[in-house]
Copies of this chain bind each other. A is one copy, B any other.
Amino acid sequence: MKVSSVEAGEVPKGVVSASKRVKRVMSVIDFILRIVAAISTLGSALSMGTARETLPFRTQFVKFRAVFEDLPTFMFFVMSNSIVCAYLVLSLALSFFHILRSTAVKSRILMVLLDTIMYGLLTAGAAAAAAIVFLAHRGNPSANWFPICQQYNYFCKRISGSVIGSFFAVVLFMILILMSSISISKH
């Protein structure tokens, strides 16, 4: 009787519990990676959002000042990082649920969908900001766009660091999506 049910396609008990343990370990890693990514995006949003520099000289009417709101792309960067950070914090609940119930499948598929959307949003924000940061550093002679980093040195350092932090979170998202699909395959 036992043998026949194994032949009929049932998986032996030892294998099931090993697969369950692997999934639980992956869920824990998932949880930790989400915390790291949330801190990284929060740091990026704050670093960009508080970057400002006022040059030490001024005319009677004009003060030379750089803030992130001057560039709509940086606004988008701060918003996308904030949204993704909020999502990551909320998703911790679902991730914790996956640690407890490692057999859940539908909620994992939902998570892959949401992760994919957020990954896209974060990548878009980071890449768009990177394009502008590149322009700020190098300028573009053909379009007559001058490198503003020559004046706003400190401001440029802040925004560059901010973009790097955001790309770090992008890599973490890739790992999260991969781990989710491996977990789904092991149900």
Contact = CB atoms under 8 A, between A and B. Distances in A.
Contacts of A71: 140, 142-143
A59 interface: no
A31 interface: no
A113 interface: yes
A184 B187 CA distance: 10
Contacts of A72: 134, 138
B105 A185 contact: yes
Judged by DSSP, the binding face of A is: helix
Given A9-B10, A10-B8, A119-B116, A70 B127 contact: no
A177 interface: yes
Contact of A125 (B125, B127, B174, B184): B127
B9 A117 contact: no
Copies in the complex: 2
Interface residues of A, number: 53
28 contacts: A1-B4, A5-B5, A5-B8, A5-B9, A8-B8, A70-B140, A70-B142, A71-B142, A72-B134, A109-B181, A109-B182, A109-B185, A112-B178, A113-B178, A119-B119, A123-B124, A123-B127, A124-B127, A124-B130, A125-B127, A128-B130, A132-B135, A135-B135, A135-B145, A145-B146, A181-B181, A181-B184, A184-B185
Interface of A: 1, 4-5, 8-11, 66, 70-73, 105-106, 108-109, 112-113, 116-117, 119-120, 123-132, 134-136, 138, 140, 142-146, 148, 170, 174, 177-178, 180-182, 184-185, 187
